[in-house]
Amino acid sequence: MTDAADLLDIARPLAIEAGELIEAMRDSVDLSGDTKSSSVDVVTAADRAAEAFIVDRLSVLRPDDGVLGEEGAGSEGTSGVRWIIDPIDGTTNYVYSVPSYGVSIAAEVDADLALGVVSEPVFNRCYSARVGGGAFKNGEPISVNTDPSVETALVATGFGYLAERRRRQAEVLVDLLPQVRDIRRFGSAALDLCYLAEGLVDAYYERGLHAWDLAAGAVIASEAGATVGDLRGNAAGEHFTLAAHPALFEALRAILAGLEADDCP
């Protein structure tokens, strides 16, 4: 069974329950936790527990599927379905109790993204979409803001964990900021894409995302009417992700390509 609607029925409660799990663990988190790619890239016991919870549940419900998780889960599977899991996207916010963090679960069918769910436990929000089925927040349809101009666009972005990448990302921002309404840095790529999908911001871009940061939010943003891609006419990915209403996407793509925003460590 690889029907995206059925898979979404599995993913939605999983993301919500994993969100409840990380909320239950939040009081025991401290700022001196482990780090990963750099000294500022934090990982907590809650990241590991939430990933284990999701992977364990999937291994019972969908034993033949593959998984890819931020905290190390990885298996090939034989069914053609692969789950892509970020147990806490926005871990820095989580350890500081800043609300924008969530659980992100996507599924590919035969290597194509088919669905995504992002739960935002502090606010009891759950964003979801499957390809061709529209995007929803707590069951209500959502859509991107239509046709904002660059000058009036509220643009979300994010920064990687490596110092050299951040230096270059800041240089791009220096040139972009005077051209748009303002910039937001919420601290969770998955939620940036969901906020775009419901019109809280007009656009989102970032260099350096991993598949688990991007996959679920990309389906939700596209199903809400955004174009999601890189700066050179290809699919979004680690090299670059830009998402916005199609007209704004093209205008921002030209500006960011001119700034060589994807030419970055």
Q: Which residues are catalytic?
A: 70, 86, 88-89, 91, 213
Cβ neighbourhood burial of 70 (10 Å; 0-12, 13-18, 19+): buried
Query: Considering the rule CB under 6 A, would residue 19 count as an interface residue with ligand IPD?
Result: no
User: CB of 148 within 8 A of CB of 248?
Assistant: yes
Q: Decide: 245 and 147 in contact? Cβ < 8 Å.
A: yes
| Distance, CA of 86 to chain centre | 8
Would you say 4 or 154 has its CB closer to ligand IPD? 154
Per-residue binding letters, 211-240, with ligand IPD (x by CB under 6 A): --x---------------------------
> Per rule CB under 6 A, is residue 187 in the interface with ligand IPD?
yes
Backbone angles phi, psi at 38, to 5 degrees: -155, 175
Binding span for ligand IPD by CB under 6 A among 108-116, 130-138, 202-210, 256-264:
202-210
Q: Does 91 bind ligand IPD (CB under 6 A)?
A: yes
Stretch that binds ligand IPD, among 1-9, 26-34, 83-91, 147-155 (CB under 6 A): 83-91
Window of 126-134, 137-145, 208-216, 222-230 that interacts with ligand IPD by CB under 6 A:
208-216
242 three-state secondary structure: strand
Least CB distance from residue 78 to ligand IPD, whole Å?
Answer: 28
| Touching ligand IPD, residues 61-80 (CB under 6 A) | 70
Cα dihedral sign, 33-35-38-41? negative
Per-residue x/- mask for ligand IPD, residues 136 to 165, rule CB under 6 A?
Answer: ----------------------xxx-----
- Nearer CB in complex with ligand IPD: 5/45: 45
Work out how close the CB of 247 gets to ligand IPD at its nearest, in angstroms, rounded to a whole number.
25
Tokens read off for 52: 């284990």
Report how far residue 197's alpha carbon sits from residue 144's, in angstroms, rounded to the nearest whole number.
5
Contact between 244 and 203 under an 8 Å Cβ cutoff? The reply is yes
Please state, as a whole number, how many other Cβ atoms lie within 10 Å of the Cβ of residue 25. Answer: 17
Nearest-angstrom CA–CA distance, 164 and 178? 23
| Interface residue list for ligand IPD (CB under 6 A) | 70, 86, 89-91, 158-160, 187-189, 206, 208-209, 213
